[in-house]
Amino acid sequence: MDPQIYLKMRAVEDRHWWFVGRRRIIDSVIQSLHLPEHADILDVGCGTGGNLSLLQRYGRATGVELDNAARELANQRQQGEVLPGRLPDDLPFAAHSFDLVVLLDVLEHLEDDRASLAALGGLLKPGGRIVLTVPAFPMLWGPHDQTHHHKRRYRSATLRAVIMQAGLETAYLSYFNTWLFPLIAPIRLLQRLQPPGKSDLAIPPAIVNQALTTLFASEGFLLPQVRLPFGISLLAVLKSPEG
């Protein structure tokens, strides 16, 4: 991504409703996995490290990030080491090293999503899991995706197919960011009439930000027990066939 986007991300990701709400949902999902004590956890494409403190609560968190500036910002958090690496074939880890691999809104940036998931599957210990999120519905493609250098948006069926082609199994798959879909989807569709512009990473007024955070994060009480039929994003838990 544009280095300026990483700087904006670092400035807002601890408070912005979308980042905070997503972390709370991911927290609920990880709790449901019943990871071993002191689990080895990898955050792939960790950006400026906003999720590392959450992951550290469940074990030993390590990050991997391609962008030098983002990696430096992530390491400044001192929430686990963040190493350079690139998917699918330049990750600095041995096979079967992790109990959990987290890939949050990263897969849509990659040219070869199938090979990247296959490579991450090779990093899982027996019984390990991958938790990933991606943007949903190609019809919502617009300036936001272009500004953030996305390659694609997914439907549940297309994501499931990529997972299968990567030699992994889908333990759980659901849309999420569902409650706010009626608000966000029309905005994204209207934005398609506009050329790509500046990143939309801006914190709304405090009362609005808190309301959006609460509404979005409340989906964590349903996920991963319930599968939601639509949403702005998709959430999946993957396992290797032998796991």
* Gap between the Cα atoms of 243 and 240, Å rounded: 5
Say what the pLDDT of residue 193 is.
78
Query: Is the residue at 209 inside a domain?
Result: yes
Say what the pLDDT of residue 195 is.
67
Query: Is the residue at 150 inside a domain?
Result: yes
Cβ proximity of 237 and 104 under 8 Å: no
pLDDT truncated to tens, each residue of the chain (243 aa)? 666 777 788 888 999 999 999 999 999 999 999 999 999 999 999 999 999 999 999 999 999 999 999 999 999 999 999 999 999 999 999 999 999 999 999 999 999 999 999 999 999 999 999 999 999 999 999 988 988 899 999 999 999 999 999 999 999 999 999 999 999 999 888 888 776 656 667 899 999 999 999 999 999 999 999 999 999 999 999 999 875
Query: Is the residue at 195 inside a domain?
Result: yes
184 has which bridge partners? none
* Gap between the Cα atoms of 183 and 51, Å rounded: 26
Give the number of residues written for the chain. 243
Say what the pLDDT of residue 5 is.
76
Q: In terms of residue numbers, what domain contains 103?
A: 3-238
Task: Please give the tally of structural domains in the chain.
Answer: 1
Provide DSSP, 70-127: HHHHHHTT-SS-EE--BTTTB----TT-EEEEEEES-GGG-S-HHHHHHHHHTTEEEE
Cβ proximity of 168 and 116 under 8 Å: no
* Gap between the Cα atoms of 66 and 31, Å rounded: 28
Query: Is the residue at 216 inside a domain?
Result: yes
233 has which bridge partners? 135, 176
Query: Is the residue at 243 inside a domain?
Result: no
Query: Is the residue at 51 inside a domain?
Result: yes
Cβ proximity of 188 and 177 under 8 Å: no
Q: Is the dihedral of CA 107, 113, 116, 120 positive or negative?
A: positive
Kindly report the pTM of this predicted structure. 0.94
* Gap between the Cα atoms of 84 and 213, Å rounded: 32
Query: Is the residue at 204 inside a domain?
Result: yes
- CATH number of the domain to which 159 belongs: 3.40.50.150
Query: Is the residue at 196 inside a domain?
Result: yes
What is the token pair recorded at 94? 């041995």
